[in-house]
Chains A and B, each alone.
Chain A
Amino acid sequence: MKAIQKKNRHASVPDEWFQWKGKDMEAAEVVARPSLSYWKDAWRRLVKNKLAMMGLVFLILLGVMAIFGPVFSPYDVNKQDLPSQYQPPSAAHWFGTDGAGRDVFTRTWYGARISLFVGLMAAIIDVTIGIIYGGISGYKGGRTDNIMMRIIEVLYGLPYLLVVIMLLVVLGPSLTTIIIALTVTGWVGMARIVRGQVLQIKNYEFVLASKSFGTKTSRIIRKNLLPNTMGPIIVQMTLTVPSAIFAEAFLSFLGLGIQAPVASWGVMANDSLGAILSGNWWTLFFPAFFISFTMFAFNVLGDGLQDALDPKLRK
């Protein structure tokens, strides 16, 4: 029975199809999967990640409000207005007022300025030092690398926040000293990542190729190594920002960071500690919400970038 079936199927094929056709190399090279450039592909995957996009949108809005928010507000950031203290959120005071009668809405955006500024500055400085240090360490290799890594290992062992606290005690609290204190040991993690990336990539053939043409070291680092190490660095940056924001709020909360009456989210949270016991929840809620949600947004964006930028995960 099988034989008959086979014969029938053979027979059903028209005779004129038995013509030579030969190879069709174009068809043989067709790849159905669309090939995208690395960055386009990463962007496509990032857009698909709803949580990460939500984070990105939130951060953009926060950035806009940090710049323009106080402009829209008729209230002065630090102007005390004791008669109107502890007013719940209303049309006049969208986020209510605090114990000194200051407008929480206005103060929140000032706090956003400080948090974003500290976060971004810390990240930028960390990246700069980290790339230079890690790049040199990984690229030079050998003895240089060995010594530089020992230094990192020692620095890595230093308790981060304790060192920051010590530095702030000595330098005195201000925006600049916070950023300095945060970056004194903060770059170590970034340097480690950059070094790891460089070590992995420097033995790739294209680097060996440009080396054999006598290209200068600095040029190799700039042209070949950096573009290929960007992924993990960007991810690390997105994760540095929230930890710096946390550190600033934490230190301000302890009274070591930004000093009252300047509006930082940490200061606002600290100020409202007593207020919540008396039921004035809004004084705590808004700074608490914005700190948490900003960190959340950076964290999910960092996660999303990590997934999007890791080509190994491409399915």
Chain B
Amino acid sequence: MLEVQDLHVTFTTYGGTVKAVRGVDLYVNEGETLAIVGESGCGKSVTSNAIMRLIPSPPGKITRGMIRFKGEDLVSLSEKAMRNIRGVDISMIFQDPMTALNPTLTIGTQLMEGLYEHQKVTGQEAKRRALEMMDLVGIPNPEERLKQYPHQFSGGMRQRIVIAIALICEPELLIADEPTTALDVTIQAQILELFEKIQKQTGVSIILITHDLGVVAKIADRIAVMYAGKIVEVGTKREIFYQPEHPYTKGLLRSVPRLDLKGGKLAAIEGTPPDLFSPPEGCPFAARCAYAMEVCTHVHPVKTSLSPSHQVDCWLQDERAKKLLATSSPK
């Protein structure tokens, strides 16, 4: 349904040009949840904003690539045509529900304005739909709550409202940018369950942006691991969790606390991601990678398909590296 090819996004700043996204390929099928995971600053939010064409410009710009949604290339669409896609076909949920709602407008106004904008609805019809949505996302006393302002709701409730706003025009794709990061752990679980329920009821596809592998394990179908503006490994949840190939993916998984492994040390990945003002020529992870070879610092690895759904960008997949791995172990 959605296919992104070779997406490049740059930001021009005082200090130079930041290459925030450097050739991202991904696709989302109908009714599935794709999770994009990575450290902060790896370009995952930029990717999602690019799909919505919400990159602030200037300084941001989509310099190359294609975003194909239902046969149309969103990159070349006019701003006006794009408005008819935003909120209607593709919706977005933001990280912080405390700031995503306008403090001076009632929940009802904010919930229904998307409907009024895109569909010819009467006030009655809009209200009926709003109440339906409030019910779907689990807000009690919806009738009364519609008239209230954001500050009268808790964080979890606000995030439910944000989700309701995103869903009111029945979009086919929902992009959720760190939807649970700003919430308490107990609320997080509730919101994740809500996502599952919504997907079951409406069949909406979801792109879930997160740095939290726990969230991913719960609701993702497929996972794309992003690092320094590129997707370094993508696969089904099973493939990524049980057969990770990229050293970075492995490192990420090792850094998640697990109860089932006794005595296992929690391994953080040492070092910091490369500066995207001047990304390295070779593999961006090479400097932090225990398995780094000479080649990694010179040439960016090529995509290797391990299964129809599982691809990885890593020199370790090369025959010669496999030979090296068989005869010696890294320093």
From B280, B293, B297, A18 is in contact (CB under 8 Å) with: B293
Q: For the complex, give the distance between the alpha carbons of A22 and B297 in Å.
A: 11
From A6, A18, A29, A31, B324 is in contact (CB under 8 Å) with: A18
Contact A15 B320 (CB under 8 A): yes
Q: Which residues of A contact B294 (CB under 8 A)?
A: 16-19, 21
Q: For the complex, give the distance between the alpha carbons of A305 and B120 in Å.
A: 51
Q: Least Cβ distance of B270 to chain A in Å?
A: 7
From B14, B290, B321, B324, A22 is in contact (CB under 8 Å) with: B290
Please choose the segment from B70-78, B110-118, B157-165, B271-279 that sits at the chain A interface, where 4 or more of its residues have CB less than 8 A away. Answer: B271-279
A residues 61-97 in Cβ contact with B at 8 Å: none
Q: For the complex, would chain A's binding face be called helix, strand, loop or mixed by DSSP majority?
A: loop
Q: For the complex, give the distance between the alpha carbons of A30 and B272 in Å.
A: 8
Q: For the complex, would chain B's binding face be called helix, strand, loop or mixed by DSSP majority?
A: loop
Contact B277 A23 (CB under 8 A): no
Contact A21 B299 (CB under 8 A): no
Question: Is B302 on the interface with A (CB-CB < 8 A)?
Answer: yes
B residues 273-293 in Cβ contact with A at 8 Å: 274-275, 277-278, 280, 286-293
Q: Least Cβ distance of B44 to chain A in Å?
A: 20
Contact A10 B293 (CB under 8 A): no
Q: A17-B295, A22-B330 are in contact. List 14 more A-B contacts (CB 8 A).
A: A6-B303, A13-B295, A13-B318, A15-B320, A20-B291, A20-B331, A23-B270, A23-B271, A24-B287, A25-B271, A25-B288, A28-B270, A29-B272, A32-B277
A-binding residues in B (CB < 8 A): 13-15, 59, 270-272, 274-275, 277-278, 280, 286-299, 302-304, 315, 318, 320-321, 323-324, 328, 330-331
Contact B287 A20 (CB under 8 A): no
From A16, A20, A23, A32, B328 is in contact (CB under 8 Å) with: A20
Instruction: Give the number of chain A interface residues (Cβ < 8 Å).
Output: 24
A residues 33-52 in Cβ contact with B at 8 Å: 33-34
Contact A315 B13 (CB under 8 A): yes
Q: Least Cβ distance of A153 to chain B in Å?
A: 23
Contact A32 to B275, CB < 8 A, known contacts A21-B297, A23-B287, A315-B13 = yes
Contact A21 to B296, CB < 8 A, known contacts A6-B302, A6-B303, A315-B14 = yes
